[in-house]
Amino acid sequence: MLGGMLLIVGYTVVTGISPLPSTRLGQELVIAALPAELEGTVIEAGSGWGGLARAVGRRCPRARVIGYELSPLPWLFACLLQWIRPVPNVEFRRRDLRQVSFRDARAVVCYLHLEAIRELEPRWRRELPAGALVVSNTFRIPGWQPCAVHRPPVRLDAPVYLYRIPRACRARLDVCG
């Protein structure tokens, strides 16, 4: 028990964020931002205990959802959940996001912190194909203009930001393609 807690705390220090899951409302807002007919690979960047990735998998049955998570216990929990009650188009991989390629992703979903987003943003800009979606729970991507902001009805919850990689120019993300 204590070992598990120490492991979670240790990886919180390494990643800079605890494996706090999205709230039910946060999940619903993320889901609402994604078209149900989405195909191809959807990456959940920092999938924690797996609840959001599984909800995305159910929302987009034609997509293949890959949740990347570094912290071992949440990752193991998500894998166990998948084993017990599988969502067929979802898988979890224990990997550092900084080593993950986003080249094949049709969409990225995340609930991270500003520093991690700042670090990943240039890679998303370079690697994500035109038309790809990025859905960020709570945090805006600095310098990007969202296509849509899904605001919760209650002020206590945070908004969800939807971005689309423009078709024409990827140097500046200030238009929706």
Ligand X SMILES: C[S@@+](CC[C@H](N)C(=O)[O-])C[C@H]1O[C@@H](n2cnc3c(N)ncnc32)[C@H](O)[C@@H]1O
What is the contact surface with ligand X in residues (CB under 6 A)?
A: 11, 15, 17, 19-22, 44, 46-48, 51-52, 68-71, 74, 96-98, 111-112, 116, 137
Minimum Å distance from CB 174 to ligand X? 27
Minimum Å distance from CB 95 to ligand X? 7
Cβ proximity to ligand X, 43 vs 173, nearer residue = 43
For residues 128 and 119, what is the distance between their CA atoms, to the nearest angstrom? 15
Q: Closest Cα to residue 78, out of 57, 59, 100?
A: 57
Cβ proximity to ligand X, 38 vs 97, nearer residue = 97
Element (H, E) at 12: helix 2-15
Q: Could you tell me the two tokens for 129? A: 């194909």
CA distances from 11 to 2, 60, 73, 122 (A): 14, 30, 10, 24
With CB atoms as reference, the residue minimizing the distance to ligand X is 46
Task: Phi first, then psi: give them for residue 21, nearest 5 degrees.
Answer: -75, 155
Minimum Å distance from CB 125 to ligand X? 18
Minimum Å distance from CB 171 to ligand X? 25
Cβ proximity to ligand X, 47 vs 82, nearer residue = 47
Q: Residue length, the chain?
A: 177
